[in-house]
Homo-oligomer: A and B are copies of this chain.
């Protein structure tokens, strides 16, 4: 085991930060570390937090972290920004408000960026979560900034996904359009002290009732596999929270913990984990097969296909013989 991996396992935040940078860059050291750390994983609860800009995600994530700490759980916060080219420490503006958290040894904060490769970001986020799980954090909060397909991909890593809405952010149809509502295990209406929040809560409850029958299908698509997790038994709650005052945070954390218990008891935790590994192995295998073939007759075959001397299917036959 590399000394960096050893030190991270022993609890050094500095070694952990450096190891995560290696993982983000997909270095040989990182691949070896992920292999070495694999047997240490499988204990943490990974919680994804997603929602439109302006919904107050960052403040809520901070409050969630504090509440988990009060319950004697260690917490890692990963803020993922697909639109930013900068990765590293707690560089996001919102993190400046976290002075009270940063001094706590039981909390680790990290931001991640896309560097122009959204597909890679979802894989990197999953790998970073594995490292944080292995070194012993009880709860991993993955906060995604921005919206869209990247968030859906990143959310598929999480065991429990929170979708944050805030009242008065335009029409509620936006969330459904982006396909974000379907991925929520818990829906949270933030800024619940505002009078308009009742309307947002009612709208979300109505949508949940409408969408209930199609939920499993959506989850099946998110996970991208033929197997479909049975989420029907989990009734998605809509919870009012006011992050600024802390109202509702304790109830939200209790629901997050209940969802984890439900995942474990229903067998869905095992299933989720299996699907994640299957997806990961498929991706790694694809990359490995490609690495093997790129040095070979591939270019020549591609040229023949382009010139219509060979069909794509015939090219595949030839390539499979090379493996």
A302 near B284 (CB under 8 angstroms)? no
Taking CB atoms, residues of chain B closer than 8 Å to A301 are 281
B274, B280, B309, B316: the one within 8 Å of A284 (CB): B316
Interface residues as binary, A148-162 with B (CB distance below 8 Å gives 1, 0 otherwise): 110000000000000
Taking CB atoms, residues of chain B closer than 8 Å to A282 are 290
A289 near B281 (CB under 8 angstroms)? no
Q: Does A235 contact B (CB under 8 A)?
A: no
Q: Does A277 contact B (CB under 8 A)?
A: yes
A39 near B281 (CB under 8 angstroms)? no
Interface residues as binary, A170-204 with B (CB distance below 8 Å gives 1, 0 otherwise): 00000000000000000000000000000000000
Within 8 A of B (CB), among A45-80: none
A34 near B313 (CB under 8 angstroms)? yes
Q: Does A102 contact B (CB under 8 A)?
A: no
B118, B148, B274, B312: the one within 8 Å of A38 (CB): B312
Docked complex Cα distance between A278 and B148 (Å):
27
4 closest Cβ pairs, A-B complex: A38-B311, A35-B311, A323-B323, A39-B308
Docked complex Cα distance between A310 and B284 (Å):
15
Known: A38-B308, A38-B312. A277 touches B302 (CB 8 A): yes
Q: Does A10 contact B (CB under 8 A)?
A: no
Q: Does A288 contact B (CB under 8 A)?
A: yes
B34, B149, B286, B323: the one within 8 Å of A286 (CB): B286
Considering only CB atoms, which chain B residue lies closest to A40 in the complex? B308
Taking CB atoms, residues of chain B closer than 8 Å to A38 are 305, 308, 310-312
Known: A221-B116, A289-B289, A312-B38. A306 touches B277 (CB 8 A): yes
Interface residues as binary, A137-148 with B (CB distance below 8 Å gives 1, 0 otherwise): 000000000001
Interface residues as binary, A5-48 with B (CB distance below 8 Å gives 1, 0 otherwise): 00000000000000000000000000100111011011000000
B31, B221, B319: the one within 8 Å of A281 (CB): B319
Apart from the given pairs A284-B313, A323-B323, 7 other A-B contacts in the complex at a CB distance below 8 Å = A280-B312, A281-B316, A282-B290, A285-B293, A286-B289, A289-B289, A292-B320
Interface residues as binary, A263-298 with B (CB distance below 8 Å gives 1, 0 otherwise): 000000010011001101110111011101100000
Docked complex Cα distance between A34 and B315 (Å):
13
Q: Does A217 contact B (CB under 8 A)?
A: yes
Considering only CB atoms, which chain B residue lies closest to A42 in the complex? B308
Q: Does A314 contact B (CB under 8 A)?
A: yes
Measured CB to CB, the closest approach of chain B to A82, in angstroms, equals 12
Taking CB atoms, residues of chain B closer than 8 Å to A149 are 148-149
Considering only CB atoms, which chain B residue lies closest to A292 in the complex? B320
A313 near B274 (CB under 8 angstroms)? no
B312 near A281 (CB under 8 angstroms)? yes
